[in-house]
Chains A and B, each alone.
Chain A
C-alpha cells in the first residue's frame, strides 16, 4: 500500500526529507517536493472519509496550506513527517464535517471486511458481513477510526499512534478494545 511505503522510509530518504523541510521553513516555495510526495496518500486518506470527490481534493489542498503555515513549528522528534501531515488531515476533515454538516464516510473493500470477520469467526457468510456493516457505524468515532486505520488501511500500530496522538502500545490496546466492542455489537444484533 502506498501509504505504508511512504511511512517506512530509508534513513537516507528520511535525511533528504528533513533537508527539504528545513529549506521549506525558510522559503515555502521549497515545499513542492513534499507536496508531490504526499499529495496522493493524503488525498486517499480524505477521499475514503468524505462522499464528495471534489470536496476531498479541496480538503487535501487545505491540508497542505495549513502544513506550510505550521511548518516552522515542525520539529523532527522521531515522528515521521507523513504522520504530522495525517494529523493535520484528520483535523481538517473534522472541521469540514462540522462546517458542512456532511456525512462521515467509511470506505471499505470487500476483501478487508472478510479480514475483519476472520478476527471474529473462522467461517462467515455473506449475511455475517452484512451484519458487520450494520454495526460498524455504532462504534464511537475514536474506535471507528482505529478499526478503519488498522484493518481497512493496514497501518502499523506505531503509525496509528502517531496520527491519533497515542503511544504504539496504547494504540494497540485501544484497537483491541475497539475490536472487542465491535464483536459485542455484532453478537447483539
Chain B
C-alpha cells in the first residue's frame, strides 16, 4: 500500500549529522565480511547444496 504524506516535517541537518556513525558502519561491514569469508560458511552452504541435489536425484 502506498501512503501519501503532505508536509511531513523532516529532521534538520544537525540532527541527521548527529546520527552519523561511520565506525558502526565499518564494524557492520567487517562483521558481514567475516561471515562471507569464513570457510565454514561456504562449507555449510556447499554441503547443504550437495544434500539437496542428492535428495532430488534420489527422488527422481
Q: A36 near B: Cβ within 8 Å?
A: yes
Count of chain B residues near A, Cβ 8 A: 24
Q: Mark A90-118, 1 if CB is under 8 A from B, else 0.
A: 00000000000001111111100100000
Interface residues on A, range: 20 to 34
Stretch at the interface among A14-22, A63-71, A155-163, A175-183: A63-71
Q: A153 near B: Cβ within 8 Å?
A: no
A residues with a Cβ closer than 8 A to B are 28-29, 31-32, 35-36, 39-40, 43-44, 47-48, 51, 53, 57, 61-62, 64-65, 68-69, 103-110, 113, 133, 136-137, 144
* CB atoms of A61 and B4 under 8 A apart: no
- Chain B residues numbered 1-50 whose CB sits less than 8 Å from any CB in chain A: 1-8, 10-11, 13, 16-17, 19-22, 24-26, 28-29, 32-33
CA distance A34 to B23 in the complex (A): 13
Q: Which of A51, A68, A110 contacts B3 (CB 8 A)?
A: A51
Given A36-B22, A47-B11, answer yes or no on A69-B29 (Cβ-Cβ < 8 Å).
Answer: yes
B residues with a Cβ closer than 8 A to A are 1-8, 10-11, 13, 16-17, 19-22, 24-26, 28-29, 32-33
CA distance A105 to B24 in the complex (A): 27
* CB atoms of A68 and B26 under 8 A apart: yes
* CB atoms of A61 and B28 under 8 A apart: yes
* CB atoms of B2 and A68 under 8 A apart: no
* CB atoms of A103 and B3 under 8 A apart: yes
Between A and B, how many residue pairs show CB distances below 8 Å?
Answer: 81
* CB atoms of B25 and A137 under 8 A apart: no
* CB atoms of A35 and B5 under 8 A apart: no
Given A103-B1, A108-B5; 11 other pairs, CB 8 A cutoff = A29-B26, A35-B20, A48-B8, A51-B5, A65-B28, A68-B26, A68-B29, A108-B4, A113-B6, A133-B4, A137-B4
CB neighbours of A107 from chain B (8 A)? 5, 8, 10
